[in-house]
């Protein structure tokens, strides 16, 4: 789960990370009043769960409260398109009004879980403000990386090493240690998977300040963080994904046109690979899970079909704990509720497979049988192209 910049900053502040003073606003009047309270020059920042906002016009500097109101009027309600939002962009519903900061230098600092190393790792770069992926692609030597010892946790020497690497002078070492210690505490206490400050700046006054903040949390740990769950903004999430999560389904929308309904994350990944190998592109990842009910399967199938880019569907089920007849019953229920206009390829194997096939055959659903995964993938890709398999 992701949160907004202003929420991340307020969390970081409570752990001692220096951030500019600021307030969130939902209307231009609220923005004006916030700017008045802050006094002087302020920055108006669009709050969406994506970066690159500045270039898209989502960040403006105002000299006074009435200018802040004008910019807020402009930004609130705009559809902001950035390299991270995709071409559809994101509707801005909140802005952060923050005291403007004069900066001398900008850096990148992030903490994340490196699954390969099995450790928490800090990443830093002197190319502040730039997306770290771009720096990694163009000038990988400019990226500094320090792993945390899993037993000792964060140690001050890690911060000092990174500070030296970034070319920070001796007068900034203490501040860097304090900032990284706070950032790490916030990261571990909240079960975050990513905490990113881009840019981390040295202000004209020589202070180290987090000018931007981005945090992502491990969904599997959210059950123990009521306070973080309350920060969820469903407007920022894919509507079909929100709906799927409400039914306990693991659904992720992708860019292709082949809808996939699969049981088990491993089989779902393998299915997506086979679709790509057959020259197609999956429209989604969907794991209906090991113990899904017919009702869940029905919801899953309906969610799949409501994605307008889906041109064909592949149902690939290996009945282990999940029984093929339960899947078939769910599909039939979905077919009863909505018209299925796209071709469907079915590959069923395992527990109660005959019963499952019989239910599907009697459903009136016009489907193609896939014999094996490779065959099913080839057929569904052809059908999605409007060809006969």
**Residue 101 interacts with ligand GDP (CB under 6 A)?**
yes
Give the CB-side neighbour count of residue 112, counting CA atoms within 13 A: 15
CB of 138 to ligand GDP, least distance (A): 17
Shorter beta-carbon distance to ligand GDP: residue 212 or 325: 212
Partner whose binding site includes residue 53, from ligand GDP, Mn ion, none (CB under 5 to 8 Å by kind): ligand GDP
Shortest reach from residue 133's CB to Mn ion, in Å: 13
Alpha helices (runs of H) in the chain, residue ranges in sequence order: 5-14, 28-38, 65-75, 132-138, 156-166, 173-189, 226-229, 239-246, 265-277, 294-306, 324-337, 353-361, 373-384
Identify what 172 binds: Mn ion, ligand GDP, none; CB under 5 to 8 Å per kind: none
Preceding omega of 279 cis (within 30 degrees of 0):
no
Q: Residues 336 to 355: which contact ligand GDP by CB under 6 A?
A: none
Q: Minimal CA–CA distance to 57: which of 77, 31, 32?
A: 77
Q: Closest Cα partner for 317 from 357, 283, 280, 277?
A: 357
Q: Which is nearer to ligand GDP, 11 or 381 (CB)?
A: 11
Catalytic, out of 98, 196, 236, 251: 196
Q: Is 127 in the site for Mn ion (CB under 5 A)?
A: no
108: annotated active-site residue? yes
Q: Which stretch binds ligand GDP (CB under 6 A): 45-53, 176-184, 251-259, 300-308?
A: 45-53
Q: Extract the tokens encoding 258.
A: 């082949």
* Residue 51 binding ligand GDP, by CB under 6 A: yes
Instruction: At 104, list the tokens.
Output: 């001398």
Distance between CA atoms of residues 360 and 136, nearest Å: 50
Give the DSSP letter of residue 310: -
Is 157 catalytic? The answer is no
Residue closer to ligand GDP (CB basis): 21 or 385: 21
Compute and round to an integer the Cα radius of gyration of the chain.
Answer: 25
| 3-state DSSP assignment of residue 9 | helix
**Least distance to Mn ion, CB of residue 67, Å:** 23
Q: Look-up: residue for tokens 């309600």?
A: 77
The pair of structure tokens assigned to 293 is 């009910």
CA-CA-CA-CA torsion sign (56, 62, 67, 69): positive
Q: Which of 198, 263, 284, 329 binds Mn ion (CB under 5 A)?
A: 198
**Binder among 2, 15, 27, 54 for ligand GDP (CB under 6 A):** 54
Could you give the count of Cα atoms lying within 13 Å of 191 in the half-sphere of its Cβ?
13
Under the binding rule (CB under 6 A), the answer on residue 258 touching ligand GDP is no
Among 30, 127, 146, 212, binds Mn ion (CB under 5 A): 212
Q: Which of 6, 108, 127, 251 is the catalytic position?
A: 108
Q: Would you call 123 helix, strand, or coil by DSSP?
A: strand
Measured between alpha carbons, how far is 356 from 344 in angstroms, rounded to an integer?
15
Residue span 117-136 as binding mask against ligand GDP, x where in contact by CB under 6 A, dash where not: ------------x-------
Bridge partners, 157 (sequence order) = none
Residue 18 interacting with ligand GDP (CB under 6 A): no
Active site residues: 108, 196
Binding site for ligand GDP (CB under 6 A): 43, 51-54, 59, 100-101, 103, 106, 129, 198-199, 211-212
Site residues, Mn ion (CB under 5 A): 198, 212
């Amino acid at each position: 789960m992701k949160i907004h910049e202003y929420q991340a900053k307020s969390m970081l502040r409570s752990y001692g990370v220096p951030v500019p003073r600021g307030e969130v606003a939902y209307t231009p009047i609220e923005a004006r009043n916030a700017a008045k309270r802050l006094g002087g020059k302020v920055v108006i920042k669009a709050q969406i769960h994506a970066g690159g906002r500045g270039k898209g016009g989502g960040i403006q500097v105002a000299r006074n409260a009435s200018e802040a109101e004008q910019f807020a009027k402009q930004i609130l309600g705009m559809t902001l398109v950035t390299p991270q939002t995709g071409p559809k962009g994101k509707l801005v519903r909140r802005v952060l009004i923050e005291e403007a900061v004069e900066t001398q230098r900008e850096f990148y600092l992030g903490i994340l879980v490196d699954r390969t190393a099995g450790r928490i790792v800090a990443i830093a770069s002197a190319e502040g403000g730039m997306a770290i992926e771009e720096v990694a692609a163009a000038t990988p030597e400019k990226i500094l990386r320090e792993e945390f010892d899993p037993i000792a946790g964060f140690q001050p020497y890690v911060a000092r090493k990174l500070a030296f690497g970034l070319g920070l002078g001796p007068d900034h070492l203490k501040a860097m240690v304090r900032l990284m210690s706070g950032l790490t505490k916030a990261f571990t206490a909240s079960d975050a998977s990513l905490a990113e400050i881009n840019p981390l700046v040295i202000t004209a006054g020589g202070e180290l300040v987090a000018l931007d903040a981005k945090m992502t949390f491990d969904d599997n740990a959210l059950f123990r963080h009521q306070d973080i769950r309350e920060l969820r903004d469903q407007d920022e999430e894919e509507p079909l994904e929100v709906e799927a999560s409400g039914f306990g389904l693991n659904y992720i929308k992708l860019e292709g046109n082949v809808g996939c309904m699969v049981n088990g994350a491993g089989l779902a990944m393998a299915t997506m690979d086979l679709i790509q190998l057959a020259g197609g592109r999956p429209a989604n990842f969907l794991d209906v899970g090991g113990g899904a009910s017919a009702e869940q399967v029905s919801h899953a199938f309906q969610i799949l079909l409501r994605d307008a880019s889906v041109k064909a569907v592949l149902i690939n089920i290996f009945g282990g704990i999940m029984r093929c007849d339960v899947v078939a019953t769910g599909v039939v229920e979905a077919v009863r509720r909505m018209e299925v206009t796209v071709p469907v390829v079915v590959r069923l194997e395992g527990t109660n497979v005959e019963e499952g096939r019989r239910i599907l055959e009697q459903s009136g659903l016009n489907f193609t049988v896939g014999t094996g995964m490779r065959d099913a993938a080839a057929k569904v890709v052809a059908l999605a192209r409007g060809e006969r398999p």
